[in-house]
Amino acid sequence: MPYVHDTLERLKKSSPAQTEFYQAAEEVLECLRPLFERSPHYHDHSIIERIVEPERQIMFRICWTDDAGKVQVNKGYRVQFNSALGPYKGGLRFHPSVTSGIIKFLGFEQIFKNALTGLPIGGGKGGSDFDPKGKSDGEIMRFCQSFMTELYRHIGPTTDVPAGDIGVGAREIGYLYGQYKRLTGRYEGVLTGKGLDWGGSIGRKEATGYGAVYFAQNMLQARGESIEGKTCLVSGAGNVAIYTIEKLYELGATPITCSDSRGTIHDPRGIDLDLLKELKEVKRASLEEYLANHPEASYIPANDYPADGHAVWRIPADVAFPCATQNELTDGDAETLLGNGVTCISEGANMPSTAAAVDRFLDAKIAYGPGKAANAGGVATSQLEMAQNSSMQQWPLEKVDAKLKEIMANIHQQCADTAEEFGEPTNLVLGANIAGFRKVADTMIDQGVV
């Protein structure tokens, strides 16, 4: 279809060298072909040309002073991608790999993810190439204050509400919030993922991981199976991975792996969750230290990974949860997972599987939940935090968790129904992309050319 092809070609010329953004755009637009055949009016309204172009992109310099008194400089970004459905909503990522292309891919995915939640939130994303690893609390605080000194003028509780992502957890959100309050004099719900004593939602920290497990449970139930008793692979050892592991235990499954950028732990009796929390949430230590308490587990350093992939995915199991970062699951990994009999994959991370890996999963017709559907529980609960802030309430965990469960079941149902409608009942990638896109595109048409 020339419409999709031409738009992608134009994108590559107008936004050069944004590889991850093209990957995300191509995946979505290719899935939309059958929709455009049925509904040519999207072409008349130039919807895809409009949807691939952010409404606004902010790039700024962040200067801060390290503990040695040296001035450091980083780049900051906020991409306000699409506000058809509500205020821009999406996390901030602090990681040395961050570029404008990475932030654009994440912001683009966020539009459709947020639409799938059924909640009134638009899509945005931001971050910096700042590396929090090895920095003191004082350095992190000074960096966050400097970051917010520029960002505060572009955000607000009804315009743009950032949250956390890789490298941005409770500590960073605290420093960012403190500086916003100092600059504006306002105590308001401008960030989500806040501390529970100062406007945070109970259950937000756990929501992305819990949601990814609920999504797997929904996919398995639709096939007459259950997560109970399953052996599971989890990658990552951050916020999403930890609470994926917690929910898996709660539902009677056994998570046997976790990983960080330096290596992978394989503990066949099940990952020691308390120890993992202690190492990562309190001590911010390397996973290798896990062995001091569990010498019977094995540690595979990143240097020993297979040349074409990641050690986690080479370990036999039933279900896989990629929860670290983009493109962490390659074609070779996908082949091994399928060869080992994995029947369900639920993505806690954003775009963790390469395009070739996704094709393999779809061809094999296994239960495959793409990130924009499977990890939407985080942003959904962020929106619940916004709702609590604006009504000056704090809901109990039971209420938040029940809503999260219901939202994940609805997202799964929408994806499955849309996949069925377009004649590919097992293809939840197609279902997620068309269902999310239709909601945003129809709203853009309703709101006119803006």
Residues catalogued as catalytic: 125
As separate numbers, helices (DSSP H) first and strands (DSSP E) second, the chain gives 18, 13
User: 3-state class of 391 per DSSP?
Assistant: coil
Query: Do 50 and 84 meet the contact criterion of CB atoms below 8 Å apart?
Result: no
Residues paired with residue 138 on neighbouring β-strands, in sequence order: none
- Contact residue for ligand NDP among 255, 309, 348, 436 (CB under 6 A): 348
Separation in Å, CA 390 to CA 174, 199, 311, 355, 386: 19, 10, 45, 40, 6
State yes or no: residue 261 binds ligand NDP (CB under 6 A). Answer: yes
CB of 258 to ligand NDP, least distance (A): 8
Give the nearer residue to ligand NDP in terms of CB position, either 7 or 110.
110
State yes or no: residue 201 binds ligand NDP (CB under 6 A). Answer: no
State yes or no: residue 107 binds ligand NDP (CB under 6 A). Answer: no
CB of 351 to ligand NDP, least distance (A): 8
- Contact residue for ligand NDP among 74, 82, 99, 208 (CB under 6 A): 208
Give the nearer residue to ligand NDP in terms of CB position, either 232 or 323.
323
**Rounded Cα–Cα distance for residues 39 and 49 (Å):** 16
Interaction residues for ligand NDP, span 149-178 (CB under 6 A): 164-167, 169
CB of 29 to ligand NDP, least distance (A): 21
Query: Do 98 and 125 meet the contact criterion of CB atoms below 8 Å apart?
Result: no
State yes or no: residue 238 binds ligand NDP (CB under 6 A). Answer: yes
Question: Of all residues in this chain, which one has the CB nearest to ligand NDP in the complex?
Answer: 238
Residues paired with residue 172 on neighbouring β-strands, in sequence order: none
Phi first, then psi, for residue 282 (nearest 5°) are -105, -55
CB atoms within 10 A of CB 448: 7
State yes or no: residue 144 binds ligand NDP (CB under 6 A). Answer: no
Binding mask 361-400 for ligand NDP (x = CB under 6 A): --------------x--x----------------------
Distance, C-alpha 156 to centroid of its chain: 22
**Rounded Cα–Cα distance for residues 308 and 295 (Å):** 28
CB of 127 to ligand NDP, least distance (A): 10
CB of 261 to ligand NDP, least distance (A): 3
Residues paired with residue 72 on neighbouring β-strands, in sequence order: 64
DSSP string, 266-326: E-TT---HHHHHIIIIIS---GGGHHHH-TTSEEEEGGGS-TTS-GGGGS--SEEE--S-T
CB of 55 to ligand NDP, least distance (A): 21
Antiparallel, parallel or unpaired: β 367-369 and 319-321: unpaired
Count residues binding ligand NDP (CB under 6 A). Answer: 23
Give the nearer residue to ligand NDP in terms of CB position, either 201 or 426.
201
Separation in Å, CA 107 to CA 103, 110, 159, 292, 396: 6, 5, 15, 40, 30
Separation in Å, CA 262 to CA 102, 196, 278, 301: 21, 32, 18, 6
- Contact residue for ligand NDP among 98, 202, 227, 324 (CB under 6 A): 324
Give the nearer residue to ligand NDP in terms of CB position, either 237 or 345.
237
DSSP-derived secondary structure letter, 157: T
Interaction residues for ligand NDP, span 61-90 (CB under 6 A): none
CB of 19 to ligand NDP, least distance (A): 15
Antiparallel, parallel or unpaired: β 71-82 and 257-260: unpaired
State yes or no: residue 236 binds ligand NDP (CB under 6 A). Answer: yes
State yes or no: residue 140 binds ligand NDP (CB under 6 A). Answer: no
State yes or no: residue 117 binds ligand NDP (CB under 6 A). Answer: no
Q: Which residues bind ligand NDP (CB under 6 A)?
A: 164-167, 169, 208, 236-241, 260-262, 323-325, 348-350, 375, 378
